[in-house]
Amino acid sequence: MRNFFRILRFGAPYRHFAVLNAVFNLLGTVFHLASLLLFIPFLRLLLGQVKPVHVRPAELWTREGLEGTFNWILTQLIEDRGQMGALLVISIAVVVLFLLKNVFRYLALVAICNFRNLIIRDIRARIYDKLLELPLRYHAGERKGDLLSLITNDMQVVEYSVMYYIEMIFREPIAVIMFLGTMLTLSPQLTVISLLLLPISGLLIARISKSLKRRSNRVQEKSADLLARVEETLSGIRVIKAFNGEADMKRRFDRDNDLLTRSSIAMLNRQDIASPLSETMGAAVMAAIAYIGGSFVLGPDPSLTGDSFLGFIIIFSQLLAPIKGFSQGWSGITRGGASGQRIFDLIAVENTVKEKPDARPISAFADRIEYRDVTFAYEAPPSDGGERRNVLQDIRITVPKGRSVALVGTSGGGKTTLANLLPRFFDVTQGQLLIDGQDVRDLRIRDLRALMGIVTQDSILFNDTVANNIAFGTPGMAQADIERAARIANAHDFITRLENGYQTNIGDGGNRLSGGQKQRLSIARAVLKNPPILILDEATSALDTESERLVQEALYKMLEGRTSLVIAHRLSTIQHCDEICVIDKGRIIERGTHTELYAAGGQYRKLCDMQAFA
């Protein structure tokens, strides 16, 4: 229950919907009870169980006074219109009362629908914000399916648990107490004639279900769009963080989130009207049977006794419905609490890459990058004893402004990890990583990443147009600037041959493009950002010869005059770098220019001969 009440705290801004739900449910119950109270005194008078009253009672707010007043009014009505005429008037009045009851019931459902969907929208947004906030280390250790299930299936469970909770607290006890008290006071006898209503309700709900199909399909489509957006975020989290694209992705997510919310509300409003309509239809059937049954009672050969007739009216109050709601409500609360625990476990995850409250801004890169005795270790899982194992050990690298340093070595040596420390995807375990003499941990993360452009082996693109992918993280760019960046990246020619040019949608992950085309778009994105520091992480390793040539030309243009950190395994990519560092098992074992290292005949020479940089 504790987790469930924590979920309800998200509803504080929308508590007026909960209040409206309670008020409308109370009014609906009152009108329902009034319909019964209107029927029973009349039927008792009609069946001769109560003598006609010709004098209005002086005391009104007592049981005898209320019943006597009803009998006095009914006596006047029978004397004016006759027994069958009075029965017709009362039957119509009962239908009107049931209509009012169900109008308020529907309004209560609309209120609770808005309440629960707005809560779920805010929780989804909170989870998505947390996914953007958490460092790469967390995303590397979690399965995407678990996170997607959390933001979809668990959200659905929580949504309905909120509904059951409000309904159980505000509607069901009121209905049970009022109806049970009235029935015990007036007549405890029941019958099963109310089963006649079930086929009619079934037909009515079947008709409504057809109209729900279109709205349900739309909700499923919007739900799929939202799920795709989350999966895209998880797949491209590195690029989003590197290009400071959190705000852009949050804007897109909020748009999809709002569309899903509006679609869900529209569908559920139509779905929720099924119960009020079916009950109103049942009231009409009850009134019709009451009229017909009255003739059976008053006819020359009565076929119904007064007790049976009263039992029919009482059973139709559907006392079992709110009782059943108690068990459903408790089950919903239990499920909602379990899902809430998983949600709050995620929200409670600590972000290990934190920005200091007094972090300093940085707007330009002026001097050098320095890895000063840097050691880094990932946290080992409990199965390995929880001991950290160093991935990097005592790294010392200085990259002056405008110079390029290449990192080479066998796979698993720590090259990518070393590059990931620069934009603070991870924080160093020991030592310092400095930019212009300032520890990166003392700088604003957004400003730090704004200085860098990253091109990785895996081209992370989004289901959007070519132009929007190039301009990702740099909103408001002119079309001319986008095209200029595409020309530098050798991408303009193939873009213009696409169906809609720069406005062509490239599909999920850019799957409508070839590997070389996707890589050139990634380069164009980095060029448009125009960063002073460039990180190339095996940007050509997965390309064919022709694509590699085009991408290589684009990289040369982009590297001119920039400070760069290059990870590569192909000689053509790194032989012109100012310094090459050979990394093996987390340590730098050789360093120098290509000519120096090749002549030394060490590990670098072996790697060159095998062309096996990884």
- SS3 for 446-515, per residue? HHHHHCEEEEECCCCCCCCEHHHHHCCCCCCCCHHHHHHHHHHCCCHHHHHCCCCHHHCECCHHHCCCCH
What's the rounded Cα separation, in Å, for the pair 282 and 542? Answer: 69
Residue listed under structure tokens 């009229």:
291
Least confident range of 7-16, 329-338, 600-609: 329-338
How high is the pLDDT of residue 332? 58
Helices (H), 301-364: 306-315, 320-347
Least confident range of 15-29, 262-276, 453-467, 586-600: 262-276
Confidence tier at 512 by pLDDT (50, 70, 90): confident
Find the mean pLDDT for residues 312-336. 61
- What percent of the chain is modeled with pLDDT above 70? 71
How high is the pLDDT of residue 184? 47
Confidence tier at 343 by pLDDT (50, 70, 90): confident
What's the rounded Cα separation, in Å, for the pair 612 and 601? Answer: 16
How high is the pLDDT of residue 198? 52
Confidence tier at 197 by pLDDT (50, 70, 90): low
Find the mean pLDDT for residues 260-274. 74
pLDDT at 213 over 60: no
- Residue 505 dihedral angles phi and psi, to the nearest 5°: -80, 130
Residue 460 tokens read as 């992370």
pTM of the model: 0.69
C-alpha distances in Å from residue 605, one per residue of 410, 610, 614: 13, 9, 15
How high is the pLDDT of residue 98? 86
Short-list 266, 222, 269, 230, CA closest to 250: 230
Question: Between residues 571 and 136, which one has the greater pLDDT?
Answer: 136
Question: Between residues 563 and 547, which one has the greater pLDDT?
Answer: 563
- Spell out the domains of the chain, with CATH numbers in brackets: 2-347 (1.20.1560), 401-417+446-610 (3.40.50.300)
Question: Between residues 336 and 238, which one has the greater pLDDT?
Answer: 238
How high is the pLDDT of residue 440? 93
Confidence tier at 293 by pLDDT (50, 70, 90): low
Find the mean pLDDT for residues 40-49. 59
Least confident range of 111-125, 402-416, 513-527, 547-561: 547-561
Residue listed under structure tokens 């032989």:
575
How high is the pLDDT of residue 557? 77
Confidence tier at 479 by pLDDT (50, 70, 90): very high
The DSSP annotation for 179-198 comes to HHHHHHHH-----SGGGGHH
Contact 581, 405 (CB under 8 A): yes
Find the mean pLDDT for residues 305-322. 58
Find the mean pLDDT for residues 558-565. 83
How high is the pLDDT of residue 397? 93
Query: What is the three-class DSSP state of 236?
Result: coil
Contact 401, 564 (CB under 8 A): no
How high is the pLDDT of residue 189? 44
Residue listed under structure tokens 């009104």:
60
Mean pLDDT across the chain: 78
Residue 197: alpha-carbon gap to chain centroid: 40
Buried b / exposed e over 229-260, threshold 16 CB at 10 Å, is bbbbbbbbbbbbbbbbbbebbbebbeebbebb
Find the mean pLDDT for residues 546-555. 73
How high is the pLDDT of residue 29? 83
How high is the pLDDT of residue 401? 92
pLDDT at 436 over 90: yes
Confidence tier at 308 by pLDDT (50, 70, 90): very low
pLDDT at 474 over 80: yes
What's the rounded Cα separation, in Å, for the pair 274 and 172? Answer: 19
pLDDT at 421 over 60: yes
pLDDT at 468 over 70: yes
Contact 527, 488 (CB under 8 A): yes
Find the mean pLDDT for residues 377-406. 78
pLDDT at 521 over 50: yes
Strands 563-567 and 404-408: parallel
Segment of 36-40, 271-275, 407-411, 582-586 carrying the highest mean pLDDT: 582-586
